Amino acid sequence: MRPPCLVLLVDDDVRTTHTLARMLREDGYEVERAADGAAAVGRLARDPMPDVLVTEIALPLVDGVAVARYARSRLREIPVICVTNHPELLGHSAWALLPPAIVLTKPMDYRAFASALADLPLAHALAAVS
């Protein structure tokens, strides 16, 4: 049996993050939250690494693209989902990440998000089982 997937949610909108974390936990995911980019980098600096990074782009202190790049410097294949009100801020940054980030626009359709999350190749989580 596969262990729960650890999702790191990064967003300065506390209400949104709280609601999304609750929904993910109800779906069987483990969830950790960070309210800004600096807190996210601090969390990513220690083990265990999350299996998935879900980040807003426009964050205080350190933006979401920098958070994603740091995550990828620690775990090259970590799946990244960027959730934003401002997809135009991304430009081509999401696609500069290899593999590319998934970009979802707020307000987010939870079913589409959950489907994208379920379809991710979670090699890091599966490696823990092997």
Read off the pLDDT of residues 6-27 as tens digits, 9 standing for 90 and up: 999 999 899 989 999 999 999 9
pLDDT tens digits, one per residue of 95-130? 566 677 888 888 889 999 999 898 887 644 444 443
Q: Are 53 and 79 in contact (CB under 8 A)?
A: yes
- pLDDT in the model for residue 127: 40
Give the structural domain span for 86. 6-129
Task: DSSP letter for 87, please.
Answer: G
CB contact at 8 A, 83 and 59: no
Q: What is the pLDDT of residue 36?
A: 94
Residue 43 in domain = yes
Tell me the per-residue pLDDT of 28-72, one tens digit each, with 9 for 90 and over: 999 999 999 999 999 999 999 999 999 998 888 998 889 999 999
**Considering only CA atoms, which of 114, 130, 117, 2 is closest in space to residue 52?**
117
Q: Supply the pLDDT for residue 123.
A: 45
Q: What is the pTM of this model?
A: 0.86
What CA–CA distance (Å, rounded) separates 77 from 72?
7
> Domain with 117 in it: what CATH number?
3.40.50.2300
Cis peptide before 121 (omega within 30 of 0): no
20 to 69, 91, 95, 125, 128: CA distances (angstroms): 23, 25, 25, 21, 25
Residue 1 is assigned to a structural domain of this protein: no
State the total domains in the chain: 1
User: Residue 96 has what pLDDT?
Assistant: 64
Whether 49 is in a domain gets the answer yes
pLDDT score at 31: 96
pLDDT of residue 48: 93
